Chain A
Amino acid sequence: MDATRHELNIQLAQMLKGGVIMDVTNVEQAKIAEEAGAVAVMALERVPADIRKQGGVARMSDPAMIAEIKKAVSIPVMAKARIGHFAEAQLLEALRIDYIDESEVLTPADEECHIDKTKFSIPFVCGARNLGEALRRIAEGAAMIRTKGEAGTGNVVEAVRHMRTMNREIRELIRMPVEEVTGFAKTNGLPYELALKVRELGRLPVVNFAAGGIATPADAALMMQLGCDGIFVGSGIFKSANPGVRARAIVKATAYFNDPQKVLEASMGLGEAMPGLEISQIPPEQRLAGRGW
């Protein structure tokens, strides 16, 4: 990928700032999401909560279904490829969607290598639990980062942990004398040049969204106040009692995240949120955030 293309891809993510990206599984849901003010939709066959429940191998969605959703909306369409599955990514690029999520929500195809994203013209978003993971993905060519959180749980605690970890590491990096950066980069697995870049910028050089467990307007406001640039909502909308109303409420709360009165108004009368899962109740081998490295 040439530098111009990469810059355009990073800049598309910038245009999504302050917005909400919603998981949808069919045309009807995609239209509800667009109407509610989503800045993009993530097209997939099963939302993470169902993938978790049904188990088995989760793969890239049926391209015919992604194509239908692409036709139904004018906002950007994203879709997921398995970690390391560059052939799935090639199909999604050939399908000409707008963004690929190399996602731990699907069953990894490669336990050693993530996709070499520099080979593609299409942009990628990748999950991260800490600064090292984020910068390794950026070094591989990701144009956008999101927290991993713990998808399909309706429990925001892991997304908070990942964002706080990243912020803490950025603050450490900024405070240390430059000669200590080499050691910090080695210990935490940071590509050195990118570590220096983060030290200069005081944040990631690309947009960083919150993802994994966001279920309420207050969850969205929390993640935005922790410094996220926008929000992914997976199961949180279409596993709730009243998807359209909840989708609109999360869009409002994301835009007005630092205005408690407006987040309060948005939170009124939404009906039941999705059922939540306590992280300690999930056996470690079924936790999605541990996939990838």
Chain B
Amino acid sequence: MTVKRYDPVDVLVIGSGMGGAAATKILAEAGLRVVCLEQGRWSQEYGHPHNSPDWEWQRTHGRWHTAPNVRRLPEDYPVDTRDEEPLMWNGVGGSTTHYTATWPRYRPSDFVKGREHGFSPDWPLTYEDLEPYYEINDRDVGTSGYAGDPGRPPRKGFSTPPLSPNPYGKVVAKGLDKLGWHWWMMDMAVISQDHDGRKACNYCGNCQSGCNRGSLADVSVTHWPKAIRAGAELRTNARVEKIETDASGRATGAVYIDMRTGARYFQAADVVIVAANGIGTPRLLFLSENAQFPDGLANQSGLVGKNLMHHGLALVEMWVESITNTYQNVVSAAYIIEEFSETDVARGFINGVTLHVVRMNGAGYQAAGSHTGNVAPWGVGHHAWFKRHFAHGVCILVVGEDLPLEENRVTLSDTLKDSSGLPAPKVEYRLHPNDRKIVDFGIDRALDLSKSLGAFETKVNRFVNPEGKYAPGAWHLLGTCRMGDDPQTSVVNRWQQAWDVPNLYIMDGSPMVTSAAVNPTSTIGAITVRAASYLRDHFAQARTAKRTTKSGVGNR
């Protein structure tokens, strides 16, 4: 096999999503020579569906489906699992290409669950350590929201004012206030006013096929143009096959396949950053096994791929007499209910749950069952049903914290391969009994809201498959290369430097220790900005580091 070699660079980044983009931008702006390898393409190459009449079909059955096993684009890799339907996007921007840009932060307690109950470890950093990096990352992505939430630590303002949740918001607020719960405007990475050369959101309602206006913070729009202007090189259609190491155990670079020609290349680098998401990153570390690392790269702890977390999920829809227009507006930008976020043992479980007031897409999707399988009847009763339900819906997304469990894991499939012949990841996932209690509790609270609003119909989606098993849309891919202070119980240190490979860093959702009860991308961005800033500031030592220590390359 002939492998063409590129000249060495300072940093090789694998993956161009939130982590890869933020790391590349920071390091390139510091003058380092950075190459990023992305197996997919720019999404702009095949166009967003927002102007097409079949926009809903493209999102639910076509190339804009959130699941690679359904989408099956050449750059996708299959995921061998019956336990879930993982969301991911293999292209420039990673899964920020088609996420909801829901942007809440973790709470201080989310970092000290070891202290609180011991069923999850503490992070090796605190909320206070991370807070400045949340601010930097928020500024880079562009946010909207309403500062002053008394239910969370004080924070600086948002890039733009809150998106309007109305008329939906006004209807739901009355029901929430009747219950006396704490709720607030959802923090969003969608701009409500023109900002940083990007257009304000115009509330079109189709956030999950990307955003063809650039209002939603897809890092292919927010980060990559700046990173490339700073000198970074982004190679698309570049599928990494293996990270290579030398006799000293340091990473030397990566072999990748040009998806257009099938040719193989080797890109050498002094430092390698893996940012391929919580499934793709452990998969690549396993694919990179060699005689020195027979169980996969950076896996002397045996924890690579383990402790996979997704959140415990459910959806509850209700239909009310008032007009809500849930086909308009930003999919997630209404309210977050954090009344139940902290542990209260009187509920019979540890950890917490948040309820998100979200939207229901267009007329076709709503008639076909919306988020809960409430399919409109066919035949003579159809139109009356549609007139009664359309624009009258309310939807609550239940997001519960799931515990990190070693048996929830990513390994390599024995049977499935991608289009390059590389083994696919195999995913095993189930909820812990504690996680199930959280989801059930969240569903019950959503049903409380249904009563409070006087809903005339309510449906629940517990994400149970035809076999009767919980099988969620796994939207958040976390925990599979946990960070920590002990090389026996973690894969990377507090600066996301691999314990076993001192010039290998992991910057995506994999290092996250707990899942909290909120969407993770703002935290993935913040930990990446923190780790990449540290790497930038200590690059001379990082370039030649011979071992990984608890305190990092600059403190030995």
Say whether A associates with B: no
Residues of chain A whose beta carbon lies under 8 Å from any beta carbon of chain B:
none
